[in-house]
Structures are given as structure tokens and as C-alpha cells.
Structure 1
Amino acid sequence: MKVGFIGLGTMGFPMTKNLLKAGFQVFVFSRSRGPIEKAVELGAIEAKTAKELAEQVDVVLTALPMPDDIKKVYFGGEGILAGAKPGTILIDHSTVGPHLNLQIYENAKEQGVHFLDAPISGGPMGAEAGTLTIMVGGDKEIFDQARPVFEAIGKTILYMGKTGNGSIAKLINNMLVGIHTAALSEAFVLGAKAGIGIEALYEVIKSSTGWSYMIDRCYPLIKSRDFEQRFMIDLLYKDMGLATDMADQILVPVRLAKVAKDMIGDAKEAGYGHEDVAATIKPLEKKAHVEVK
């Protein structure tokens, strides 16, 4: 099985490395030269366009930051659908809305091409270790055909049902990421301002019912003031917007999600958009005239 990978970012590059380790012949295309050159050194083959890549492989994987990037790489004149042959399997690991998934699925189906939405969770560390959670929507028989590819990059591989269901699951997960990040930011700023030791407060929360995974993830970064980009605020804000828009479309009130989105938006507007989501705490610290450290 020849595999193509488009988008060698913080997630895509380590995923490509794991595909190579698993023995797949891998073709790559990306906007940045650095990751392309590193992938070629590891044995990948460079394609000059997304179309050229799709012409040469059995499976195309994409991992791109924004919905507009996906539209361009799938539908452009030099895009994937311009080069994909009947029987090719297209898999998108990006976080987008289910309507875009369905649009790609229907266009691909007209050409005899298959499509799976397969967003991922686990961050760069999970991508490097090959332990990602992959939530997949689409036709079950195509999911089964693509499973060896998923097993090269992920540990928990879940079939979610029809096209778009993978993205729905990912947006709900990231909606909770946003809510938990906003809540932990308020909690630690309140504790610091009230004069309680934040290390002691963390130990209480960690061993009590207020704990969440995001507290364990973000607290050490906040404490050490390490806001280097891992999962950046701009992307979480995008995901929160997609999640709340989806909720509005099907008439589900998500008040907590909208408040959290506004808080994350405050951090974005304050200039922290390219920092890690742990930096959501910074505007709160400024308003409270306290720093959690």
C-alpha cells in the first residue's frame, strides 16, 4: 500500500515517520521545506503538488490547521481530487466541521474515490509515540481497509459511524478542552489572588473531584511560565467556534462552551494566539493583578 501525507506540521511529520517505520512507501507534500527535506532523508518521496501525490498512492492522509486549507488541498486545480484514481482512499485527520467532511465525501464518491474523516487526539507526543486516538467516520468497509494505516499511527482507533461522526466526536472533545482550560485558569488565578499556595491547591485538586486531564497538562506549564506552542490558542479558538456553530445549527444550547470560547478569544485578542492553550490564563492574571507561578 502506497501512502501519501499532506501537511508535515507538528502532528503530520511524526505521523509520517511512524508510517515509514511501519514499512509503507510514503509520498509527502507540504508548504514548508524543512519537514519535507527531513522526511525525504528518512526515506519518503517528495511530490510537487497534492495532485501529483494523489496520482501515485493508494491512500492519502491530510493533517492541516484550518478548513480553508482543506478546501484548497482537496478541491483546487492541483488538489487531491484532481489526481485521485477510482478506489483511492482519502483520510482527513484535521479538525473541521462535519459539513465539510460530507462535501468531500460526496465529491469523492462521484469519482469512485473513498473518504474517511479521522480527526486525532493525543498531541505531538502521541503523534511521535504512535499512540494517537483516532475517531473515524465513513463507510465501514473502507475503514476496515484503511485499518493497517491507522494502526501505524494510533493506539485507540474508534469507528464512530457515518461520514462526519469522527469530526463531531472531536469537536465535542475539544469543546470540553476549552471549557476545562477556561475553568482551571479561573481556579488558579482565584487561588493565587486569595493567597493560597498554588502547589498545595494543585495537590488538593489532583486528589479530589475537581480534577481533569487538562489540569495535569496545563498546571506545570503555567507554574514554569512555559507557553511554548504545543496546541495553540488560535486552533482551540477555531475548534470552539466550530463546536458552538454545530450546536447552534441543531438547536442545542451550549452556554458553558460559549463562555469558554469568549475567554479563549480574550487570550487570542491579547496577542497570545500562537502560544499554548495554557496561556489562556494570562488575561485573567492581568485583570486580577496576580501571576500564578
Structure 2
Amino acid sequence: MAVSKIEQPSSIKIDKTFISQSFENLQDSICSELEKLDGKAVFKEEKWNRPGGGGGRARVIENGHVFQKGGVNFSNVHGLLSEKMSVGLGLAPGHEFFATGVSIILHPSNPFIPIIHMNVRYFEMSNGDRWFGGGIDLTPIYINVKQAKYFHQCLKTLCERHNESYYQEFKAWADNYFYLKHRNETRGIGGIFFDRLTITPQISLEERYAFVKDVGESFIRIYKPLVEENMKPFGEDEKRWQLLRRGRYVEFNLIYDRGTKFGLDTNGRIESIFMSLPPEVNWLYNYQPLPNSEEAFTLNMLRKGIDWVNLENK
């Protein structure tokens, strides 16, 4: 697939059509770079239409050199908000909506390569409300403090290009969002998460878009070194731990994930909604890692509020 960059010519108005096209281009670019990174597998595409309006392109990569399963979805949907979604958004029934975005989830084969998720999205309502949402978070099977510091420093630098308050605000949001309260643990090491970034007298549509665009375009640049550094041998014990940690990922997506709920509530395409689930997973009854093991260390670090940027290396 040819690489296509998001561009923002000064003569072009930033509106829902432009944003949707830029997200479609982002999908092309990321898929091309991920195919190069994998070196074996290529994405399979399926175009789909939503009965209520709009559609999208689902792209899945499987059984590659790096990625056991991954997906890069683009959607552009519109229609009448369901009563359930109207209540969730605090709107009276009868509103039309427009939503477009890109969602990425990658499940590597190697347990030392972390799972990564990223999405960027734009919503527009018939009452005039408009906002952006999205984020990027990392779920290592084995937490490496040096790599966690790198990941968060990249996000901090990205955020501060746009607003000095973004990183701390959106990191805390990610800590609270990517949290399995029934397990009392975070899904991974977090990242940044933001939603309902509206247009205000202080912050324009163009400024919001520039930030979200930066998040999308930074994805490959941030993730590629983590893949390359962790291509190392593993055994059955590491694979067992990977399948257990994937189980936590499934629990979060099915119980708490807003994207999953939105897709189901708006009669979304079920294959695209569940694309994020890993191909193999395991649950063992009351599994406890050995004391002082790498697994025990990882479990101990799955908590909110860690200042990863300033944490001392293990």
C-alpha cells in the first residue's frame, strides 16, 4: 500500500469531510508501515456499509512475522442517534450524528513485544456540538521500566507541542480509563486518553485537529523501536503469561471499553467491533506468579499514578 500523508493546506477548510479524508489517509499510511515492520504478512481489507448510514474499511493482518493478529479500522458513519446513545451523550432524542475515526490494535506473537492500541475520532452532532477523542496506550506483557519511560516521554513531548497541560491531564485520564476495577489493576502502563475535546473560544477546531493529527502520525514512530528492541527468544512460560494477560485485555474491552459500547449501541459492524480481541487467550483459576519473578514485578506495576517519565530504571 502506498504511504499517504495527512496534509493541511492553508486554503482548505477543516470540516468533517476533510477530517474524514485525513483519517482515511492515516489508515493507508499506518498499514503500509506496519506491513514493512512485519516483513511477512499483509493486510486484508473488507469494505462495509452501515445500514443506518455510512460505512468503513476494516483491515486485518494475521500470522505474520511480528503480528499474530492486528487491525486498523477506518469508519465514517452517520444517522439518527439511538435513544440509548442520546441518554449517554446528554442529548434529547432525535439528533443526527456524524462520526469518523481510525482505530488500531496490535497483538504481537512475541510476549516481549507489547500490545498497543491507538484511536483518533471526530464526532459532530446536528445540534452543532463537535468534538475530538482518542488516545494511545501500551499493554506490555512484561513491563520494562526503561521502555515505559521512553513511551511516556514520547507522549509527553507530543502533548507539550500543543498544550503544556495535555500530558498530565490525559495521562491521568488514561490511568483512570484503562483500569479493571474488578481486578484492581490497570490494563497496562497507560498512555494518554481524551474525549469530548470540544471547540471553545480559547481552542479552535484547527488547534484540536492539529493535536489529534499529531497523535495519529506519531504512532509508528513511537511503536517501531519497541518492536525492534523486543524481538528476542521466549519459551512456554512466557507464552503462558502472555495468554493470561491477554485475558485481562479481553475483560476490559468487553466490560468497560466505550468504543465497543458505542459500536453495539449504534448497530455497528460486529466483526469490526470485536477486531480488537486477541486470537488466543487463557484464563487459569487464581493464577499467582512466583515471588520475585518478572511476572510478579509486572503485576505489581499495574497501578494508577506511576510517574513513568521520572521513574528510576529497575
**Which one scores higher on RCO, CA 8 angstroms, separation ≥ 6?**
2
Query: Which protein shows a greater Rg?
Result: 1
TM-score range, shorter chain: under 0.3
State the TM-score, normalizing by the size of structure 1: 0.25
- Counting helix residues as a fraction of each chain, which structure ranks higher? 1
